[in-house]
Amino acid sequence: MLAFGIVSLAGLLIDFLCLVLAGSAISSEIVAGRWTLLRLTTLSSKSIVSAKHASVRLRYWPWLHVLAGMRCGVVVLLALWNLDTLRYSSALDVFLIIGLFILAAVPYVIEPFWRTQAMTSVGLFFSALNRSTALTVLTAVFGLFALWLVQAVIVGSVLFIELRAWISLYDNLPEVRSMWPTFIFTSLLIISFWLLNYSFYDQLERRSRRRILRRLAMSDV
């Protein structure tokens, strides 16, 4: 639990780092008058924003790999911690449990890459919205907490509905209490959880990029 808490805290710090680094990517160019020069080139605003996004990601890329490595360590520790529980299980049960573990562990390790992709776009949006870097960072911090809350509500609500449906089936239909139905439902629950998170990040990035371009198009710079 301690290792999981440390890794979770590291993930929050990476989120904050994304927003801080992206917070001045566009606003600093606008304040310095360089954005007008960029717009005079043959590059479109979309290309410039994509380049800014990539440059910000390069700055925290090594730390992102450190976080992924830490998550791999948590996965290994969790596997070793539960190794003794498999000793008295049948071969089929062991196979199914390992399958579920891999299904949950792989997205857990790569999830920071999805999240930081979206968080960088959010930071760029706040950078396009405000001219002050300090105000951008302050806005981004409050926005970050709001995003975590929205994500928790959406994902938690869907998973709660799925769990309620499974509990109802489990109580009323004894035949679903065997290993295979439990395995199938747990697999669907894990897949739903990660698909919801990925979809949330994907939509967040797409909407942020559209709003960046819209904000820049409406600006007088």
**Least confident span in 64-78, 81-95, 205-219:** 81-95
pLDDT over threshold 70, residue 1: no
pLDDT tens for residues 20-76? 888 878 877 777 777 777 777 777 888 888 989 999 999 999 999 999 999 999 999
pLDDT over threshold 60, residue 103: yes
Q: Measured between alpha carbons, how far is 153 from 196 in angstroms, rounded to an integer?
A: 11
| Contact between residue 17 and residue 118 where contact means Cβ atoms under 8 Å apart | no
Query: What pTM does this model have?
Result: 0.84
Residues 6+ apart with CB under 8 A from 16: 141, 144
Q: What is the pLDDT of residue 176?
A: 56
- Tell me the average pLDDT across 198-203: 93
Q: Measured between alpha carbons, how far is 217 from 221 in angstroms, rounded to an integer?
A: 9
pLDDT tens for residues 155-189? 888 778 877 877 776 666 666 556 677 788 888 88
| Contact between residue 128 and residue 215 where contact means Cβ atoms under 8 Å apart | yes
Q: What is the pLDDT of residue 221?
A: 47
Could you tell me the maximum CA-CA distance found in the chain, to the nearest angstrom? Answer: 70
